[in-house]
Structure 1
């Protein structure tokens, strides 16, 4: 007889997929016996945004409520060796014409406790910001989309169709992953006509890998998180890279280049620093498009600080945060794929606070910030976001 019970969805997902960090979502699990189950849940991020000079008249502040993300989660298990998951997302980069699409659809073959093979659609090995995503960052649906460009532009919200070997060593203190992927949507939301595959071009695979070392507490699992909200002491560094031969295709006939990107990320989180937990994150990125798209080529940086107070205030705990991102592009690329070598920095600075009711599952975030782009004047913004997962 099936046993319907309440449990942590991502506890099930962790067992199914090795997502050791993401033990957060409350959901329902139907058990069919030992190591056989199906789990289901959902999550969403909605926000109020007010941006300087963004109203329809071009001079007043905008006032908009937006459904930034909506996801359905499914995971299952045949036995302790074969697991799988299916997740969906409201896609479209936040546009009004968004559709639901599959972001995760994969199977994991756990060959040994330390070695697994993932196949299907999933997050390819990459930087911590991409592996964590908006639900497992420093809170409030944070997208590191200025610096972590593949996480936003590439694949299906950072996902790709392919296969990867996922391994861990030294009691999960060292993690290594490497895989081959389709890589046909590297510049999905770039908005400059950039392509990674087109008619008449070669069909090459994209290769991606990541190595992560944890010096304090271990981080078991493949999908990661950007903040543990005081659950662990973390001192970690990760190195990631990806490349695709002939992976940069201009709309100008015959203009094709190779795509490469590299990143180094750092996370420190320490409990009992005064009356709370201190966290610091930083990352460096390098993007190379073989000079085909200067607007997607260059160096990027991101950094963030947070401090979670131990004592609750009402339902949750207060966590002041500050974040900075910069993408120093080598130039500008127009929609006609014409390059111009000029200063093309994009920067964003944010300061605010999380109200953490339940880590990852219930977080309210308020931030005030400023975005500088090459194509427009600087605009300040206020954002109030609600993140919920069930």
Structure 2
């Protein structure tokens, strides 16, 4: 879709899962002529996690090392009009028994400089957190599956099979995307026992769209980022939505419509004192027609960061703070062994607060993150946690 020879910004698109507007050098490119190339790269996130009362029947603190993510990136270009990508990820919700699966496999037809068609498996238009992904978020690592729920729970690590029109206008200040997708894994890791469509249910498509406007510097590209580490001045607002009729099917064959929309905000200003200040916020609504009350409700997230320009050792320090909350309409639980399904009203709030710092060695490609926080969910009532994550891309 994009010409890598124009700028290193576009190199990040092809090499790092097509993750849009980044100043990164992730991967190596083998050229075969004008607008003909193959790009290769890989990335991983490894972490240490310690949680209060998480083992020994809730009486002892856990201490765990985990491989949160492992990705291989392959991109290619036939000419300036036809490009594609093939990317893999360690799946399974971070569990020890996870496998490797394809998360991106698509072709991009650049019809005009402003209009492209994406087809295959890729990120459907959605909120900034999902479009940025774990490697391009301000705090590093994976979401806690609290506010931006589709990014972790929906599809294949936020991806879906379908087709979308991706457009940009006003010198990349206005970006509009809209598409139709399969949408049959919306609640993949939720544990609510959601059923995909079968011969007894209608096979409707899921429609998704996003509109974003940048008031200051422009953000070219479809996939996005949550932070520019002082490379740009950003003031952006995005609105996204998705809908699938009969897209919610419970284990007891109760059917409802799936709908979700969000509004997100990002501000980043360089040269604020001795560094760069950033602020992000988002609001979400999820609807299931009451079929899964634990996946239905309003969510909020907000974060602040400050990147000091002075280098200390190998990198620069970036203190961060983040808050997420999901006010679910109830609690939904499903036991796959006994097939017991419950759906109750009330008591479904989840929240997570964390504070810490990034140590940015190379933006997007080498970052060490350490945070301390508190979380209050159905499985962890106001428990503290410590997380140290190493993120690298090559």
Which one is further off, 223-232 or 14-23? 14-23
1:344 to 343, 348, 373: 348
Is there any run of 5+ residues in structure 2 with no aligned partner, and where? 1-6, 335-339
What secondary structure is seen at the aligned counterpart in 1 of 2:28? Answer: strand
2:170 and 2:124 map into 1 onto residues whose CA distance is 23
Residues 9 and 26 in structure 1, CA contact (< 8 A), matched pair in contact too: no
What is the TM-score when the length of structure 2 is the normalising length? 0.94
* Residue of structure 2 in register with 1:77 after alignment: 77
Q: Which stretch has the larger CA shift, 12-21 or 317-326?
A: 12-21
Q: Deviations over 1:117-168 (max 9, x none)?
A: 0000000000000000000001421425210111111000100000000000
Paired with 1:265 and 1:9, the residues of 2 have a C-alpha distance of: 23
Task: Give the deviation of 1:57 after TM superposition.
Answer: 4.8
2:231 matches 1:231: yes
- Relative to 1, partners in 2 of residues 1:17 and 1:333: Cα closer, same or farther, differing over 3 Å? closer
Q: Offset of 1:60 from its aligned partner?
A: 1.3
Partner of 2:298: 299
**Which stretch of structure 1 is more off in the superposition, 124-133 or 14-23?**
14-23
Contact 2:72 2:88 in 1 (8 A): yes
Distance 2:341 2:174 in 1: 41
* Post-superposition offset of 1:251: 1.1
- Distance, in Å, in 2 between the alignment partners of 1:376 and 1:386 is 25
Measured after TM superposition, the shift of residue 333 of structure 1 is 1.1
Q: What corresponds to 2:3 in structure 1?
A: none
In 1: Cα distance, 2:348 partner to 2:175 partner = 35
CA-based RMSD: 1.7
Deviations 1:162-217 (A, max 9, x none): 00000000000000000000000000000111234245111110000000000000
Give the 3 Å change call, closer, same or farther, for CA 184–12 of structure 1 in structure 2: same
The residue aligned with 2:102 is: 102
| 2:282 match | 283
Q: Is the 8 A contact 1:14 1:22 kept in 2?
A: no
Secondary structure (helix, strand or coil) at the match of 2:130 reads helix
Report whether the alignment pairs 1:163 with 2:163: yes
Question: Separation in 1 of the partners of 2:45 and 2:243?
Answer: 32
What does the per-residue CA deviation read over 1:206-246, in whole Å, with 9 as the maximum and x for residues that have no partner? 00000000000000000000000111000000000000000
Runs of 5+ consecutive residues of structure 1 not aligned to the other structure: 1-6
Indicate whether 1:273 and 2:272 are aligned. yes
Distance 1:46 1:54, change over 3 A: same
Deviation at 1:342, TM superposition (A): 1.3
What displacement does 1:377 show?
2.1
Q: Note closer, same or farther for the CA distance 1:190–1:109 as it changes in structure 2 (3 Å cut).
A: same
Q: Normalization by structure 1: what TM-score?
A: 0.95
Query: Which residue number corresponds to residue 325 of structure 2?
Result: 326
Q: Secondary structure, in 3 states, of the residue corresponding to 1:185? A: coil
Secondary structure of 1:26 counterpart: coil
Matched, 1:371 2:372: no
Deviation at 1:22, TM superposition (A): 2.9
Aligned residues: 383
Partner of 1:4: none
CA distance in 2, matches of 1:226, 1:346: 23
CA–CA distance in structure 2, aligned partners of residues 46 and 32 of structure 1: 35
1:55 Cα deviation from its structure 2 partner: 2.4
Q: Deviations over 1:306-342 (max 9, x none)?
A: 0000101010000000000000000011213422111
Within-5 A mapping of 1:20-35 = 20-35=20-35
**Alpha carbons of 1:171 and 1:369: their partners in 2 closer, same or farther (altered >3 Å)?**
same
CA distance in 2, matches of 1:371, 1:12: 33
How far has the Cα of 1:56 moved from its partner?
A: 3.5
The CA distance in 2 between the partners of 1:137 and 1:172, in whole Å, is: 21
After superposition, where does 1:155-304 map in structure 2 within 5 Å? Answer: 155-253=155-253, 255-304=254-303
